A and B are shown apart, each in its own frame.
Chain A
Amino acid sequence: MKSLEDLRALKKKAQEKTKLREGQERVKIIVTMGTCGIASGARDVVVALMEELKKRNITDVTLTQTGCIGMCEKEPIVIVEKEGKKTAYGKISPDKAVQIINQHIVNNQVVGEWVIEP
């Protein structure tokens, strides 16, 4: 390391790793994982989301789980929180989960047909 530029390049790389601990995520994805969610395949959805985020090297998104939100018939449910807006998707399979990342998170387009209408 010979200059401030070298240091900053390393800093940038390191920040990707610690971002999760600073609460500065751009998007939050929440998967509901009550018994109902797990029974209808939410674990596979989580795994698919993780793999896709990993594959696309997306680092400013956090993926968390929450308990049952009372819409058991719509499980597995994926909630995307972006720019202060929450979108809840119902009956999400691993394939659909991947598409949510591609369309909603990367291309900024809500996937209308899967949205749970309130």
Chain B
Amino acid sequence: MEFYRNHILVCTGEPCVLKGALEVESILLTELQKQGLENEIRVIRTGCLGPCNVAPVLVVYPEGIYYSGVKPGDVQEIVAEHLVKGRPVTRLVGTDVEKRVDVVYQVPQILTGQERVVLRNCGIINPDEIVEYIGRGGYEALGKALIHLKPEEVIEEVKSSGLRGRGGAAFPTGLKWSFTASGEEKYLICNADEGEPGTFKDRLILEGDPHAVLEGMAIAGYAVGAEHGFIYIRGEYTLSIERVQRAIDQARKLGLLGKNIFDSGFSFDVEIRVGAGAYICGEELALIESIEGKRGEPRYKPPYPGQTGLWGKPTVVNNVETLANVPHIIEQGAEWYKSIGTPGSPGTKVFTLTGNIKNEGLIEVPMGITLREIIYQLGGGIPDGHSFKMAQTGGTAGGCLPPEMLDVPMDYDELAKVGSALGSGALLIMDDRHCIVDLLKCFMRFFNHESCGKCTPCREGTPRLLELIEKIMDGTAVKADLDLMAKLAENMEISSLCGLGQSSPKPVLTLLEYYQHEFLAHIEDKKCPAGVCKKLQVKGVV
């Protein structure tokens, strides 16, 4: 047994890696060697710790001190001061202080006030070592399910937990599992395509705790009777792909994937499929087409994947975060799960905060928390003295909410009531410098590019909407164009083939409703109140 007096966790989530975490790590290793500390201090790579806006991040245990924005030039000082002399380098430590025993435990603001279920291991374990996951209770839920529960009982537990799909559509997971048709051969697919702009939670779950997802997949496979699992990972997510592959290999080696797991007679294995970069391939049936080697386009529904899915067999598709919740529900029970969140949306939700917000990054909070709490408490508010103008919830296909709606509880039903959606958990925060029409143009350009062209309402609707928006920005639109936009959007919503065309109207309709005055200023006064639309007068009052 080795004894290390300190563990230094180096966050190697993608944001940290992009900002130089690996260089920091290598200098750290050299410095430790120079000081003769390499056998006293252990350096461990972890997944995302959350505060991505201050990347790269290091945590030194047992003190629990978070260093943020660490540059290669800072490393020598951390080693000489903190690790040799025991004096934390305060200039690199966040400002919010929490006491742990007697040592100063400095936690970034974004990490306080969270409830971590899905992310409980992220930033604590080394994702490349299965034993660290097992040390935190990993694979016990799988053992419990296979040894002590019947598949129906697993489904019943998940059903009564109220877990709803975290991929966007919010369909009750247990119910979906119970609808899976019978058949010799079935498939379980984990959807890790994560194409929604501003969403990066699945990537950070996979990078930080890949075994949680594999364990969830195996339990789901057992529940529905699928022995073969696929995890469809977005092609750009090279680090996720690498870590998941390593996790699969390690789980196979210990017999936690493969034949006759826990001597139960149940076999389950997982293969990775790499996506090729289309938003539509996240839609479950387009994803299935893509795995089959075809062009990624949605199919008509029904039949649903549970009846006729991959290669015509009954197939369950679930999101990464959905599956990562499953082991906790099996282990701690539906009642425990329901004690978190709201009655209609139990549990926690992982959100990704981006835009004009002080603490950009990843958070996990109970469902039902208000937008205001997220923005002003965890998010640290709007930076640079600007004021809040709009929050888009649920990604680019989500609705846009004005300041009057800051107190809306973040759960599936409450957001639906105001025309928005919780979606994938992306939160885009915009301050008063942005023009609503210009933002809408950005959203529509995305949908126009990503519409697959299979159904008419979406294929023709998105470019027409984009044209109308550009007319407004050019100052050539008339008031009736706003009604036309709304009508077009409503028609797309009810007649498009898949979720892309059904939900891309959401930002259009919510912006038209909540920011009508700003559209009118463009059309009637030929003014852009925010001064963004260059062809219009810059000055103006909202």
Q: Which of A64-72, A88-96, A108-116 contacts B (4 or more CB under 8 A)?
A: A64-72
- Cα of A64 to Cα of B137 in the assembled complex, Å: 27
Interface string of B128-149 (1 = CB under 8 A from A): 0001101111011001100100
- Taken together as a complex, chains A and B put the C-alpha atoms of A88 and B150 apart, in Å, by 57
Contacts of A59 in B (CB 8 A): 1, 3
Select the stretch in B100-108, B182-190, B385-393, B433-441 that faces chain A: B100-108
Contact (Cβ within 8 A) A67 B134: no
Would you call B87 an interface residue if the criterion is a C-beta within 8 Å of the partner chain's C-beta atoms?
Answer: yes
Report yes or no: B1 in contact with A14, Cβ–Cβ below 8 A: no
Contacts of A7 in B (CB 8 A): 134, 139-140, 143
Given A2-B262, A46-B5, the answer on whether A67 and B61 have CB atoms closer than 8 Å is: no
B262 and A65 contact, CB distance less than 8 A? no
Interface residues on B, range: 35 or more
Q: Are A54 and B143 in contact (CB under 8 A)?
A: no
Within 8 A of A (CB), among B133-185: 134-137, 139-140, 143-144, 147
Q: A73 interface residue, CB < 8 Å from B?
A: no
The reply to whether the CB of B256 lies closer than 8 angstroms to some CB of chain A is: yes
Identity of the chain A residue whose Cβ is nearest the Cβ of B81 in the assembled complex? A67
Report the minimum CB–CB distance from B141 to chain A (whole Å).
11
Residues of A within 8 A of B135 (CB): 11, 13-15, 17-18
A21 touches B9 (CB 8 A): yes
In the bound complex, residues from chain A placing their C-beta under 8 Å from that of B100 are 23
Let me know if B132 and A18 touch, CB within 8 A: yes
Contacts of A64 in B (CB 8 A): 5-6, 62-63, 86, 103
- List residues of chain A with CB within 8 A of the CB of B445: none
Q: Given A7-B143, A11-B135, A14-B131, do A21 and B61 touch, yes or no (CB 8 Å)? A: yes
Are B262 and A1 in contact, CB atoms less than 8 angstroms apart? yes
Pick from B83, B84, B132: contact of A17, CB under 8 Å: B132
B7 contacts the other chain (CB 8 A): yes
Question: Of residues 309 to 337 in B, which have CB atoms within 8 Å of A's CB atoms?
Answer: none
Contact bitstring A81-102, B, C-beta under 8 A = 1, else 0? 1000000000000000000000
Q: Is the CB of B124 within 8 A of A16?
A: no
Place the interface of chain A in its size category.
35 or more
Asked if B422 is at the interface of the complex by the 8 Å CB criterion, the answer is no
Residues of A within 8 A of B9 (CB): 21
Chain A residues within an 8 Å CB radius of B87: 33, 66-67
Which of B1, B62, B125, B256 lies in contact with A62, CB distance below 8 A? B62
Q: Which residue of A lies closest to B137 (CB)?
A: A11
> In residues 226-256 of chain B, which contact A (Cβ within 8 Å)?
254-256
Residue of A16, A33, A38, A57 most packed against chain B (CB within 10 A): A33
| Contact B61 A14, beta carbon cutoff 8 Å | no
**A54-B3, A57-B1, A59-B3 in contact; A4/B131 too (CB < 8 A)?**
no
**8 A Cβ contacts from A1-49 to B:** 1-4, 7-8, 10-11, 13-18, 20-23, 25, 28, 30-35, 38, 43, 46-47
**Which residues of the partner chain A approach B132 to less than 8 Å between Cβ atoms?**
14, 17-18
Residues of B within 8 A of A17 (CB): 131-132, 135
List the B side residues contacting A53 at CB < 8 Å: 3
Q: Once the chains are docked, how many angstroms separate the CA of A3 from the CA of B139?
A: 11
Other-chain contact of A1, B40, B61, B103, B255 (Cβ < 8 Å): B255
**CB closest residue in chain A, given B255:** A1
Q: Do the beta carbons of A18 and B40 come within 8 Å of each other?
A: no
Which residues of chain A have C-beta atoms less than 8 A from B140's C-beta?
4, 7-8, 11
Q: Is B85 part of the binding interface, using a Cβ–Cβ cutoff of 8 Å?
A: yes
Select which of A13, A20, A46, A65 is within 8 A of B131 by beta carbon.
A13
Which residues of A are found within 8 Å of B255, using beta-carbon distances?
1-2
B7 and A4 within 8 A (CB): no
Q: Counting CB contacts under 8 A, is B64 at the interface?
A: yes
CB pair B5 A23 closer than 8 Å: no
For B86, give its contact among A1, A8, A20, A67 (CB under 8 Å): A67
**B263, CB-defined interface residue at 8 Å:** yes
Shortest CB-to-CB span from A81 to chain B, Å, is 7
Tell me if B125 and A65 are in contact (CB < 8 A).
no
Taking CB atoms, residues of chain A closer than 8 Å to B139 are: 7
Among residues of B, the one whose C-beta sits closest to the C-beta of A65 is: B86
Contacts of B1 in A (CB 8 A): 16, 54, 57, 59
B5 adjacent to A50 (CB under 8 Å): yes
Q: Which residue of A lies closest to B35 (CB)?
A: A43
Do residues B263 and A3 form an inter-chain contact, with CB atoms below 8 A?
yes
B144 touches A23 (CB 8 A): no
CB <8 Å contact, B137 and A20 = no
* Least CB distance, B44 to chain A, in whole angstroms: 9
Once the chains are docked, how many angstroms separate the CA of A25 from the CA of B137?
Answer: 19
Query: Known: A2-B262, A50-B40, A57-B1. Contact between A33 and B85, CB under 8 A?
Result: yes
Given the interface pairs A53-B3, A63-B5, the reply to whether A23 lies near B62 with Cβ below 8 Å is: yes
B residues near A14, Cβ cutoff 8 Å: 131-132, 134-135
CB nearest neighbor in B for A66: B86
State whether A38 and B144 are in contact (beta carbons under 8 Å apart), knowing that A16-B1, A21-B61 are contacts in the complex.
no
What are the 8 tightest A-B residue pairs by CB atom distance, in nearest-first order? A65-B86, A14-B135, A54-B3, A62-B62, A63-B5, A14-B131, A66-B86, A33-B85
Give A residues with C-beta under 8 Å from B.
1-4, 7-8, 10-11, 13-18, 20-23, 25, 28, 30-35, 38, 43, 46-47, 50, 53-54, 57-59, 62-67, 81
* CB<8 Å pairs between A and B, sample of 11: A1-B256, A3-B263, A4-B144, A18-B124, A18-B132, A23-B100, A33-B86, A47-B40, A57-B1, A65-B85, A81-B102
- Beyond the given A4-B147, A57-B1, A67-B85, could you list 11 further A-B residue pairs with CB under 8 A, ordered by the A residue number? A4-B140, A10-B131, A11-B134, A11-B137, A20-B61, A21-B7, A21-B9, A23-B64, A33-B86, A46-B40, A63-B5
